C-alpha cells in the first residue's frame, strides 16, 4: 500500500503524521520541489526574535518515515501525478494533493528566505506599513505586524485594510484589540508615501494551478478522480473558506483518520465535526475565528511551533 502526498507543507505533513499514527506500515511518499519543509505559521516568531529564521526550515531528508521525491507536480492523472523532472510519474493507491495556494504579489513573507529579507528591510526602516488590498490575502501579516511592534516599540507599525474578504474582516476585528493595545494602528485608508518608511503590499493567495480543474467534496475532500483528495489552502478556497492553517490542519486530520480506517477496515468514515455534519459554514467560521484569535498571537504561536516539532516532525523522523 502506497500513499502519495503532493506538497510537504502544513497540510501535507500533518496528514502524513496523523495517517502514519494509525497506518504505520503504509509507504508514504511526499513530492515537493523544495529540499526543506517550511513551518510558515511560525514566521512571525522569527520577526519577534523568539526563534531564528533557520529554525523554521526542516530538511525532508531528516524525515525518515516518509520517502521524499524532490520534484514539482504539474498534473494529476488518476492515481498518478506527473512531475516536471522529465516524463516522470509517481503513483499510489491514494493521492493526497496539498500544494498550498498560489501566491500573487511581491512581498515574499510566506517563505523563510523571503521573510528573512523582509526582516532586514524592517530593521532599516523607521515605520512599517502593511497595505491589504486583496480579497484573500496571504495570512500572517497581522501577526508579523504585531511581532515587529513588540520587538521594536520605537517603530511606527500600521495595517491599512483598503479591501478584504468579509471573513478576514471578522478575524481582523477580533485581533484589533490586541493590535491597538500593542500600538499597531489599523486604518481603512492607504498610507501616505513618506521617505524612510517600508510599505509591504500584502499578496493574495489563489487556487494552485494543479488544483484548478478539480472539484472537491466538502465532506470527504475527494475530487472527481477516485482516491484523489485535495486539502489545504487550495481546497479551502474551493470550498469558500478562508485559506488559513487551522483549516488546513482540520482537513488533514479528518482525512488522515478516515483513510487510515479505510486501509485497515475497508470503511471510509469522516469524523463528525460540526461543520461536516451540519454543513453549517457560519458555525465553522466561528470555530476557525476562535482558533485564530484565542491567546496573545505570538506567544500562542510559540506553543504551536513547539508542538509541531514534538508531535509532528519528531515522529516523522522516527524519533
Binding site for ligand FAD (CB under 6 A): 6-12, 31-34, 40-41, 43-44, 72-73, 98-100, 109-110, 138-140, 143-144, 210, 232-233, 243-246, 248, 292, 301
Report, in Å, the least distance between residue 111 CB and ligand FAD: 8
Q: Which is nearer to ligand FAD, 28 or 73 (by Cβ)? A: 73
Query: How far apart are the two ends of the chain, measured CA to CA in Å?
Result: 23
Report, in Å, the least distance between residue 192 CB and ligand FAD: 26
Q: Alpha-carbon distance 245 to 140, whole Å?
A: 10
Eight-state DSSP code of residue 71: -
Report, in Å, the least distance between residue 186 CB and ligand FAD: 17
Q: Which is nearer to ligand FAD, 194 or 311 (by Cβ)? A: 311
Q: Alpha-carbon distance 221 to 256, whole Å?
A: 11
Task: Rounding to the nearest 10 degrees, give the CA dihedral for residues 62, 63, 64, 67.
Answer: -120
Report, in Å, the least distance between residue 158 CB and ligand FAD: 18
Residue nearest to ligand FAD as judged by C-beta position:
9
Q: Which is nearer to ligand FAD, 16 or 263 (by Cβ)? A: 16
Retrieve residue 207's grid coordinates. 487556487
Report, in Å, the least distance between residue 318 CB and ligand FAD: 21
Q: If we measure between CA atoms, which residue out of 172, 256, 264 comes closest to residue 220?
A: 256
Q: Alpha-carbon distance 103 to 106, whole Å?
A: 9
Q: Which is nearer to ligand FAD, 103 or 160 (by Cβ)? A: 103
Q: Which is nearer to ligand FAD, 91 or 264 (by Cβ)? A: 91
Q: Which is nearer to ligand FAD, 191 or 245 (by Cβ)? A: 245
| DSSP one-letter string for 154-182 | TSEEEEEEEE--HHHHHHHHHHHHHHHHH
Q: Alpha-carbon distance 61 to 304, whole Å?
A: 23
Report, in Å, the least distance between residue 87 CB and ligand FAD: 16
H/E stretch holding 14 reads helix 10-22
Amino acid at each position: 500500500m502506497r500513499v502519495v502526498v503532493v506538497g510537504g507543507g502544513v497540510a501535507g505533513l500533518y496528514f502524513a503524521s496523523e495517517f502514519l499514527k494509525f497506518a504505520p506500515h503504509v509507504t508514504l511518499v511526499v513530492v515537493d520541489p523544495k529540499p526543506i519543509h517550511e513551518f510558515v505559521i511560525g514566521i512571525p516568531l522569527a520577526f519577534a526574535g523568539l526563534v531564528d529564521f533557520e529554525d523554521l526550515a526542516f530538511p525532508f531528508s531528516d524525515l525518515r518515515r516518509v520517502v521524499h521525491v524532490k520534484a514539482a507536480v504539474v498534473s494529476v492523472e488518476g492515481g498518478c501525478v506527473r512531475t516536471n523532472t522529465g516524463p516522470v510519474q509517481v503513483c499510489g493507491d491514494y493521492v493526497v494533493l496539498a500544494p498550498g495556494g498560489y501566491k500573487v504579489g511581491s512581498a515574499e513573507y510566506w517563505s523563510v528566505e523571503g521573510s528573512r529579507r523582509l526582516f532586514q528591510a524592517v530593521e532599516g526602516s523607521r515605520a512599517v506599513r502593511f497595505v491589504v488590498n486583496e480579497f484573500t490575502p496571504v495570512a500572517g501579516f497581522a501577526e508579523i505586524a504585531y511581532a515587529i511592534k513588540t520587538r521594536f516599540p520605537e517603530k511606527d507599525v500600521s495595517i491599512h485594510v483598503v479591501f478584504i474578504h468579509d471573513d478576514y474582516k471578522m478575524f481582523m476585528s477580533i485581533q484589533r484589540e490586541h493590535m491597538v493595545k500593542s500600538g499597531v494602528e489599523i486604518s481603512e485608508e492607504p498610507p501616505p508615501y513618506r521617505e524612510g518608511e517600508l510599505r509591504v503590499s500584502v499578496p493574495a493567495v489563489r487556487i494552485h494551478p494543479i488544483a484548478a480543474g478539480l472539484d472537491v467534496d466538502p465532506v470527504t475532500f475527494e475530487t472527481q478522480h477516485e482516491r484523489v483528495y485535495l486539502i489545504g489552502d487550495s481546497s479551502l478556497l474551493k470550498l469558500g473558506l478562508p485559506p488559513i492553517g487551522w483549516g488546513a490542519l482540520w482537513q488533514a486530520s479528518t482525512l488522515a483518520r478516515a483513510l487510515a480506517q479505510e486501509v485497515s477496515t475497508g470503511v471510509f468514515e469522516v469524523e463528525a465535526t460540526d461543520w461536516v455534519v451540519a454543513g453549517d459554514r457560519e458555525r465553522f467560521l466561528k470555530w476557525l475565528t476562535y482558533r485564530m484569535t484565542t491567546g496573545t498571537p505570538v506567544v500562542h504561536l510559540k506553543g504551536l511551533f513547539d508542538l509541531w516539532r514534538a508531535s509532528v516532525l519528531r515522529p516523522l523522523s522516527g524519533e
